[in-house]
Amino acid sequence: MRWMCRACGFVHEGKGPPKECPQCSSPASEFISERKGRPFKFDGKGLDVLIINGSSHSSHNINTMVGWAERVFRKRRIRYRRVDLNSVRIDHCWCCYSIKDGACTYPCRNQGDDMPVLHEMLMKSRGVLVASPINWNGMGARLKDFLDRTTCIQNLQLLKNEAPLAGRPMGILVAGHEDGAYKTAHDIFHYFQQMGYVLAPFGITYVLNNRAHPSSSDYAKIRRDRKTKEFTEATAKNLANAVRIRLPEKFGKIYISSE
């Protein structure tokens, strides 16, 4: 059987995945069998929360925090779907807007990858939870590509004076080694704020390990950190409440103030 590492694409042949990827050192949990590979689809049904896991290692540190949030959503009967960005294909943005305003359209001109499905999920979700590691003081490339590709939705404000996602709530989870947590969180929020999203109360939770410890110790620290679990659950609960009260409808008319 063939097993592929979701972090780097290395393919291993055998009865099971290797304990560690020989190419990028990812653990066995990052490998998926070719049997599990199937087209990325969405049934079109409305979601309460769309979870975007932007980590290159979706089963590692961020996975712990997302797992706590998922348990909150299940307990509160929140309809959610989790998308690990290392399991889907998202091309770099073509930057059509740089040619002329009207070239950046929704639906996106690039219909050849998985991003159109994610666009539909965003449109059908009442809220979003974004989880990200810190990659050198900022978000990783996979999440940046995803956010770049939301430009076509944001550009509806300029082309049609429409902001279909305005007023929807979001939460942000960040985990990393050393520093850069709040910068990463605010970089992420900046994209969503320009689409009109609002941050749920105490909507940012982050956890850091420091340079006094090797990065290999991060996973164990996060899993046993009761305060991080408590804060993550609080962010998830606040997001669930914000989704339930249907903020866009309660808010009334929303005035567009950016392109």
Res. 148 pLDDT band, cuts 50 70 90: very high
Residue 120, C-beta contacts closer than 8 angstroms, at least 6 positions apart: 42, 44
Peptide bond preceding 107 in cis form (omega within 30 of 0): yes
Res. 36 pLDDT band, cuts 50 70 90:
low
- d(Cα 44, Cα 16) in Å, to the nearest integer? 34
pLDDT at 35: 66
Residues 190, 205: Cα–Cα separation, whole Å: 16
Helix (H), strand (E) at residue 243: helix 226-244
> Is 211 a residue whose pLDDT tops 80?
no
Q: Measuring CA to CA, which residue among 54, 60, 11 is closest to residue 31?
A: 11
pLDDT at 37 over 60: no
Domains and CATH numbers, the chain: 1-38 (2.20.28.10), 41-251 (3.40.50.360)
Partners of 49 in beta bridges: 80, 127
Alpha-carbon distance 256 to 162, whole Å? 8
Instruction: Name every residue whose Cβ is closer than 8 Å to that of residue 82 and which is 6 or more positions away in sequence.
Output: 51, 53, 66, 70
Query: Could you tell me whether strands 2-5 and 11-13 are parallel, antiparallel, or unpaired per DSSP bridges?
Result: antiparallel
Give the pLDDT confidence score for residue 216 in this predicted structure: 81
Residue 246 CA to its chain's centroid (Å): 21
**Across 109-132, average pLDDT:** 97
DSSP secondary structure letter of residue 76: T
Can you tell me the mean pLDDT for 104-120? 96
Q: What is the mean pLDDT of residues 48-75?
A: 94
Does the global pTM surpass 0.75?
yes
User: For the stretch 19-52, what's the b/e string if a residue is b when 16 or more beta carbons lie within 10 angstroms of its beta carbon?
Assistant: eebeeeebbeebbbeeeeeeeeebeeeebbbbbb
> Model confidence over 188-201: pLDDT tens digits?
999 999 999 999 99
